Structures are given as C-alpha cells and as structure tokens.
Amino acid sequence: MGALYMGNKPLLHVDQRVSVVVEQLLRLLHHCGAPPTDVDLLHGPGTTMGDVLKGAEPRSTLFTGSQRVAERLAVELHGKVFLEDAGFDWKILGPDVRDLDYVAWQCDQDAYACTGQKCSAQSILFAHSNWVIAGLLDRITDLATSRKLSDLTVGPVLSWTTKSILDHTKRLLQIPGAKLLFGGKPLSGHSIPEVYGAVEPTAVFIPLEQALLPEHFGVVTTEVFGPFQVVTEWQDGQLPQVLDACERMSHHLTAAVVSNDINFVQHVLGNTVNGTTYVGIRARTTGAPQNHWFGPAGDPRGAGIGTPEAIRLVWSCHREIITDFGPVPPPSFLVQS
C-alpha cells in the first residue's frame, strides 16, 4: 500500500506457501474499488521472482524475509533494495520488579503467539536475577506449556522442520551450564506434514558468560522462526556484558527494555541501536500499533514500514526542482565572464 500511496505500480510476490493470503487481500481491494491494473501479483517460487527482478530492473525493491536472500538481492540488484530482513530480537528485564503476572504474560505473547513466526518475536530474554528470584521463569513456563494445538495457541512452523528445531535445541544444550526450561519435544496427535515444523513452545537457558563466548555466540543468536527462545540471567554489575551482546548481534530490528527506572532505560537506549525499541514496564517486542516506524537500524539499506516517513523513504526519492521562468535580462546584461 505504501508503494501505491506514492504513485508506483508494484509487482508483489510472497512466499508460495502463503501466497493465497495476499491474493485474497488484493481481491478485497478490488471489491472496495481499487483498479485491478494497479498491482501485479506473481505466484510461484522465489527463484522465479528472482529471474523477473533481473530482467525487469525495478527502480526499487523492498524485501522482507531471510538474511541470506536479502544479501543476495543486494548484490544482484546493485544495491537498489531496501531490507526488512532477519531479526534476532532481545528483551532486557531491568532490576526493578513489578507487575510480575503482566510481564510474564507479555513475555509469553512475544515469544510464542502466532507460533513465534514474527520477525519481531522475542528471541532472547535477558532477565535480571531479581525477576528470576521472584519466579518469572516459572510463570512463563506455566503459560507456555498450556499452549496446545487443539485451540491453535501453537501450530505448524512453515520455515523450520521439527528435526531442524530439535537439532538446534540439542546443539544449544551442549553448551556448558545450559538447561531446557520447557518444551524441546515434537507436538503429538496431528497430521502436520514433515516438511513443516511441529514442536512444543521451547526455551533453553544459557549462562550469560557462556553465551558471550565467541564459540557459542553464533548459535545462541541464531533466529529460529518458530516457538523458540533463549533465556539468560544477569546480575548487578553485568549490564555491560548484556549491552555488549546486544551490540554484537548482526541485525538490529526490535527490542524491549522492561523497566520503569528512567535512568536504567536511558542507559540501555544510549548503548543500543535497534530500529524499534519499546521501553517501560509494559514494553514488548510484538503486537505493535500500525502507526509507528517498524524497521531495522544500523544498515543504510534498512526499510521502514508504517509511518509517512517510512513510506516516503522506501517508495519515493528526493527530487530538487528549481524554477527560473524570468524575466530575461536585456542584451546589454549578457556579457561574457
């Protein structure tokens, strides 16, 4: 819609597994009066869309999806691309504990609602020891383990298989001090094809010191696009290590700082760069209102979604038009210099 607002004719392609959804959106727009010629829709695999992009040479492309494809497109399209790609999104719980039930509920929603298939899903939780002592992890466990396939509070994972998610879980559990908080098992009693994932909501605890080691950091910060998160605990004096971890992550999309301590919040904000960051005791990573900027930071290719500023950035460009209609000076004024 942002492309249309700025007068473009977009060519739209989404993953072939869910392409039928966007087709129904276009049919709704046509029903509401949108001209059928305003948008072209291409069904099919991503390789087909890639071939079309090479031949069409579009003026601009907005890509939302995996980091691997995003980097390939940046090369093939000679940099004429905006990216709203992968995000390993973090949440920091500050030292001030309050509203425990609400914070636990929000953590469960951020990590596991929509079966965790949100680019802004809570990927890692940095919980201050005060929250752990207060029983936050037990509350999250109760909420997450109550999710079940029968009421669709958990469901199929489209981009990771059951085996790949469980293999990743096992790899994390090999880190010294790691432990399974909950999940780590396949869902039962279903007919979900093996090409998709079907696992219980899962959380793996990794000691902060181990998570920061170079040999572990890569796997700890691997985004699993499903009902999965990493949990770690930090104590007074360890905030610099937590902020170091946030800085070392490669894609800075969404973050949350759960605290009503304004000095703590300002310190974290001043040392992080995520494009969309929620702060306050109600801070979340998902369920965002649609009237604010949503996009990554720290990359000049980063796309914004949602605001007039974002739409202008991605779907328009700056033009400088200088008018000079006259009057024309007399001939005596036209001297060479």
Q: What CATH number corresponds to the domain at position 150?
A: 3.40.309.10
Query: What single letter denotes the amino acid at residue 126?
Result: F
Please check the confidence at residue 336 and state whether its pLDDT lies above 80.
no
The pLDDT of 323-334, averaged and rounded, is 86
Q: How many distinct structural domains can be found in the chain?
A: 2
pLDDT for 127 equals: 98
CB-CB contact of 164 with 219 (8 Å): no
Output the six-digit token pair for 315.
Answer: 């779907």
Q: Looking at the domain assignment, is residue 79 inside a domain? A: yes
Q: How confident is the model at residue 84 (pLDDT cuts 50, 70, 90)?
A: confident
pLDDT for 251 equals: 82
Q: Active-site residue 84, yes or no?
A: yes
Q: What is the mean pLDDT of the chain?
A: 93
Domain that holds residue 68: 2-85+298-315
CB-CB contact of 140 with 203 (8 Å): yes
Both 141 and 68 in one domain: the answer is: no
The pLDDT of 245-264, averaged and rounded, is 94
Strand stretches in 143-270, DSSP E: 179-182, 202-205, 228-234, 254-258
Both 154 and 252 in one domain: the answer is: yes
Both 172 and 56 in one domain: the answer is: no
Both 97 and 193 in one domain: the answer is: yes
Q: How confident is the model at residue 289 (pLDDT cuts 50, 70, 90)?
A: low
Both 60 and 108 in one domain: the answer is: no
Active-site hit among 23, 32, 71, 84: 84
Q: How confident is the model at residue 91 (pLDDT cuts 50, 70, 90)?
A: very high
Q: Which residues are paired to 278 by β-bridges?
A: 256
Q: Looking at the domain assignment, is residue 334 inside a domain? A: no
Question: Per-residue pLDDT tens for 24-65?
Answer: 999 999 999 999 999 999 999 999 999 999 999 898 899 988
Q: Active-site residue 119, yes or no?
A: yes
pLDDT for 64 equals: 86
Lowest mean pLDDT across 161-165, 231-235, 284-288, 315-319: 284-288
Both 261 and 164 in one domain: the answer is: yes
Q: Looking at the domain assignment, is residue 236 inside a domain? A: yes
Specify the DSSP element, H or E, that contains 55. Answer: helix 46-56
Residue 80's CATH number: 3.40.605.10
pLDDT for 291 equals: 72
Please check the confidence at residue 23 and state whether its pLDDT lies above 90.
yes
Q: Is the peptide bond before 327 cis (omega within 30 degrees of 0)?
A: yes
Both 36 and 52 in one domain: the answer is: yes
Q: Which residues are paired to 5 by β-bridges?
A: none
Q: Looking at the domain assignment, is residue 166 inside a domain? A: yes
Active-site hit among 23, 32, 114, 119: 119
